Structure 1
Amino acid sequence: MANLKEVKERINSVSSTQQITKAMKMVAAAKLRRAQEKIVQMRPYSQKLTSILNNISSGAEGVSDIVYAQERSVANLLIVPITSDKGLCGAFNSNIIKAANVVIQEHQGQNITVMPVGKKALDFFKKQDYSLVTAHSGLFENITFEPVKKAAEYVMEAFVEGEFDQVILVYNQFKNVATQVVVKEQFLPIAKMEEEENDISQQDYIFEPSKDYIIEELVPNSLKIQFYKAILDSNASEHGARMTAMSKATDNAADLLKDLKLVYNRTRQAAITNEILEIVAGANALEGK
């Protein structure tokens, strides 16, 4: 059985850890509230733009006019795994890396390039034997539309120039505080709507001032917003995952403290009992004399 000093040190250590995890949970909760507001406000706008974009690109005439919707044989693939810059958020980052590796396995034989977003993805793929695009890995240092727009523009220009034939985003989609869903989303070329969806959702649009102007302006902006939405989704998911992880860590620390205090009390009681027995034994020995 451990002595009192060792148990006391463990109690102090766990108590300190519990204070840290509790503070991190509160910080994550505050950041999550702001991040959740951003993604909730952005999502309806992004989804409507994407719906319009898919509707336009689903028509034969629309596809021929949109360079971002042109499908070609996939020889060069760009994968964009979006992780966080920091850890202590459960399986948040490892799930993205696993999903990205699944995509890589599914496209064996193609030239694969990885554009990691977030330090955790960058640190992992630096150790792998893939071509890397690292210029836009630090988007989470300051989450504003401008740097995200530049990253999206790089991807879009590379696709148009034929450097990549397909671009896939891998990120965590925010559902709620406890739930984040890993999404593997084709960013380019623009995905067509399924025939079943076309029967229900295909709509005729009146283009004003002109179809060419709408395609030239709407499509690139919609893609940039779609990329920005993925970043906001991942950011909100990160804080949700960290809040959940720190909440569980705080609860585990409380359970461990409970057990340690029980061990401490038992050890202390055993020490007191031994001292009493020694005193009694000493007294009996004196009386025997």
Structure 2
Amino acid sequence: MPSLKELRARIAGVKSQRKITSAMKMVAASKLRRFQKHAEASRPYAAAMRRMLAELAVATAGQGELPILLEGGKGSTHLVVLLTSDFGLAGGFNANLVRATRQIVARLEAQGETVRILPVGRKGGDAMARIFPTKLVDRITGTGGREVQFQAAAELGERVTELLTSGQVDRVTVVFNRFVNAMTQTPTEEALVPLTVPENDNQTEYSAQYEFEPNEAELLAQLLPRNIQVQFYAALLESAAGEQGARMTAMDNATRNAGKAIDELSQRYNRTRQSNITKELIEIISGAEAV
């Protein structure tokens, strides 16, 4: 049985941990409000970009070969961009994404495609280096829990565009956690190249006739790289909000568990102390009777 000194040390240690987890929960909650606002604000803009490019794709149909950023390459190399966090202590936030990525890779390879992986975020990079070391294209550091700047998405978009235009990859899919609420983040697979239109969008509206200025080909050349950057930006914002929500929930659970552990240790401490006092009283009484 642990001594009173050991129990006091354990209680003090758990109390210290509870202070840390409680502080981390409050920091995550503070960040979550800002990140959630940014993620929700980005959704309409990203959806509008997809709709606009869908209209341009319809307008340019039959006018020759479509750009690779719209139609994809003719090969079978599929790039999976995985967005994770740089830090842990966020429950199953990263583990769920890694599990989803393994399933996606297995499905794509079963379809005869060659898979390459570009992890963004230290946790995802470490996991992919262990699981798929030969499939890594590169490793990119995430935002480190800070607010996502568009420059980060622009650089990622430029890197992916370079891989596409140089013929190293033919299709691109991004995997990230879509923010639902503080307790729910849904692993999401979204195809970027070739361009896809969400099922809930009205597909018939894209067949309408529009006049574009400048012409459709010039607009596509300008908008397609921008669209990839915008979609990455929206995904990074979703991931950032989801990370803070997952961390807030995980730290709240850790704080509650620490409180329960403190109560249990305190009970053991009191029982041990009472037992020691009782034992000492019995020894004193026994000694007095012997005298």
Q: Secondary structure at the match of 1:115?
A: strand
Question: Could you tell me which residue of structure 2 aligns to residue 53 of structure 1?
Answer: 53
Q: Secondary structure at the match of 2:119?
A: coil
Asked if 2 retains the 8 angstrom alpha-carbon contact of 1:57 and 1:63, the reply is no
Asked if 2 retains the 8 angstrom alpha-carbon contact of 1:58 and 1:192, the reply is no
Deviation per residue, 1:175-196 (Å, 9 max, x gap): 1111100001111111156699
Asked if 2 retains the 8 angstrom alpha-carbon contact of 1:69 and 1:191, the reply is no
In structure 1, what residue type is equivalent to 2:104? V
Matched, 1:252 2:257: yes
Deviation per residue, 1:41-84 (Å, 9 max, x gap): 21221122223323443563489544322255552111111111
Cα-Cα RMSD? 2.4
Cα separation, partners in 2 of 1:80 and 1:160, compared to 1, 3 Å = same
Q: Secondary structure at the match of 1:90?
A: coil
d(CA) in 1 for partners of 2:124, 2:181: 23
In structure 2, what residue type is equivalent to 1:87? G
Question: Could you tell me which residue of structure 2 aligns to residue 110 of structure 1?
Answer: 113
Question: Could you tell me which residue of structure 2 aligns to residue 36 of structure 1?
Answer: 36
Q: Secondary structure at the match of 1:175?
A: strand
Report the alpha carbon displacement of residue 232 of structure 1 after superposing the two structures with TM. 1.1
Question: Could you tell me which residue of structure 2 aligns to residue 134 of structure 1?
Answer: 138
Matched, 1:124 2:127: yes
Cα separation, partners in 2 of 1:19 and 1:231, compared to 1, 3 Å = same
Asked if 2 retains the 8 angstrom alpha-carbon contact of 1:81 and 1:170, the reply is yes
Paired positions, count: 285
1:208 to 210, 213, 218: 213
d(CA) in 1 for partners of 2:63, 2:173: 22
Give the percent of matched residue pairs that are identical in Structure 1 and Structure 2.
36
In structure 2, what residue type is equivalent to 1:273? T
Cα separation, partners in 2 of 1:281 and 1:193, compared to 1, 3 Å = closer
d(CA) in 2 for partners of 1:164, 1:191: 17
Report the alpha carbon displacement of residue 280 of structure 1 after superposing the two structures with TM. 1.4
Cα separation, partners in 2 of 1:62 and 1:94, compared to 1, 3 Å = farther
Cα separation, partners in 2 of 1:255 and 1:193, compared to 1, 3 Å = closer
Larger displacement relative to structure 2 (52-61 or 27-36): 52-61
Question: Could you tell me which residue of structure 2 aligns to residue 198 of structure 1?
Answer: 203
In structure 1, what residue type is equivalent to 2:36? Q
Gaps of 5+ in 2: none
d(CA) in 1 for partners of 2:256, 2:128: 34
Larger displacement relative to structure 2 (104-113 or 269-278): 104-113
d(CA) in 2 for partners of 1:19, 1:194: 46
d(CA) in 1 for partners of 2:87, 2:15: 23
Cα separation, partners in 2 of 1:82 and 1:270, compared to 1, 3 Å = same
Matched, 1:164 2:169: yes
Q: Secondary structure at the match of 1:87?
A: coil
Cα separation, partners in 2 of 1:220 and 1:242, compared to 1, 3 Å = same
Report the alpha carbon displacement of residue 107 of structure 1 after superposing the two structures with TM. 2.0
In structure 2, what residue type is equivalent to 1:99? A
Report the alpha carbon displacement of residue 30 of structure 1 after superposing the two structures with TM. 1.8
In structure 1, what residue type is equivalent to 2:52? I
Report the alpha carbon displacement of residue 133 of structure 1 after superposing the two structures with TM. 2.7
Report the alpha carbon displacement of residue 206 of structure 1 after superposing the two structures with TM. 4.0
Q: Secondary structure at the match of 1:102?
A: helix
> TM-score normalized by structure 2?
0.88
> TM-score normalized by structure 1?
0.89
d(CA) in 2 for partners of 1:205, 1:217: 18
Q: Secondary structure at the match of 1:133?
A: coil
